[in-house]
Amino acid sequence: MSLFLSADQIAAFERDGVLVVDNVLPMERLKAVKAEYTDLLDTMYDAWHAEGCVPPPGDMDFFEKLLTAYDAGCEWFQPMDISLPGSKIEADTPFHIGPAVFEMLTCDRLLDMVEDLIGPEITSNPIQHVRLKPPARTLRSTETTAHIMATDWHQDRAVAHEEGDRTKMITVWLAITDATPDNGCLQVIPGKPQMYPHCPKRQTSIADGFIDETKAEPLPVKAGGAVIFHPLTPHAALDNLTDGFRWSFDIRYNVTGQPTGRAHFPDFVARSRSAPDTVLRDWRVYDRMWKDTRATLAPKRHIPIHRWTSDSPACA
């Protein structure tokens, strides 16, 4: 018996490799995430102001502060992200894990939905990001941060290490603000095809000529809702053509015991019907896991997160 999704929804996901689900994150969890990030940005903004980088905050709201900081060249994405980056990791590379983020990752309603699709032994996969997308008109011409720009066509299976290719996994793209075609919602090509070759372009992207972009379908979703997709479903994100931000989280779950596709980053058991004592319940432990990982990786040679190189025949 399913816990959250209807039989028709599960069948649609199995057929199309994608599903839009409303009201996944309860309103109190949504508010807690917003409050946690507001406090985080307030602290960073006050420090930038003390350094003379930004004007006094006055009565600016969260998004006004973000845009002002971006215009001033202040780096806010990585300090707000919920994982370490794919680039070289330093001893002081920032990231954010807090109680509201952890409670979002372990939300019962969300895990009920995940269980309906991959079963009751659920690991929170470390390939996860916050996505705070400014208006496209404000972006610098030199901007390269994939998580605040329009996203190129790719498959999630392809942006992880090969060891995870047989792992049963799903992505949950969780909307914190309404996502619309105007402000840069996801678009997908339904179905679960084979893995396509990818090339290092502006981002790691499906090689030219392998997909028919005319089949793309935009997937608007309200705040608190989610787009769930299979790791082989091709997807991208549109430009944000509005004057406001679009905010979401890109999180993944896989069957416990199977490779995550990023073994050098920490994962944790989010739900287990067979061994409930293995479930992690303390956000501080998860925060410490990331800090320990950072300390371990910083002095070592960089581990690339992508398998594709520009000399591949498909990239010629």
Domain locations in the chain as residue ranges: 7-141+148-315
Note the pLDDT of residue 272: 98
Residue 140 banded pLDDT, cuts 50, 70, 90: confident
Name the pLDDT band for 81 (thresholds 50, 70, 90).
Answer: very high
The region of weakest confidence among 82-96, 139-153, 156-170, 253-267 is 139-153
CA atoms within 13 A on the CB side of 119: 11
Poorest-pLDDT segment among 136-145, 151-160, 297-306: 136-145
pLDDT digits (tens, 9 = 90+) for 158-215: 989 999 999 999 999 999 999 999 999 999 999 877 899 998 887 889 999 999 999 9
**Looking at residues 21-44, what average pLDDT do you find?**
98
The terminus-to-terminus CA distance of the chain in angstroms comes to 49
Mean of the per-residue pLDDT values of the chain: 95
Strand arrangement, sheet containing 186-188 = 151-154, 235-237, 186-188, 217-218
Q: What is the per-residue DSSP string for 86-101?
A: SS---TT------HHH
Task: Tell me how many degrees the CA angle 8-10-13 measures, rounded to the nearest 5.
Answer: 110
| pTM of this structure | 0.95
Q: Band of the pLDDT at 216, cuts 50, 70, 90?
A: very high
Grade residue 122 by pLDDT with cuts at 50, 70 and 90: very high
Percent of the chain surpassing pLDDT 90: 85
With cut-offs at 50, 70 and 90, classify the pLDDT of residue 141.
Answer: confident
Residue 242 is predicted with a pLDDT of 96
Phi, psi of 34 (to 5 degrees): -60, -40
What's domain 7-141+148-315's architecture? Sandwich (2.60)
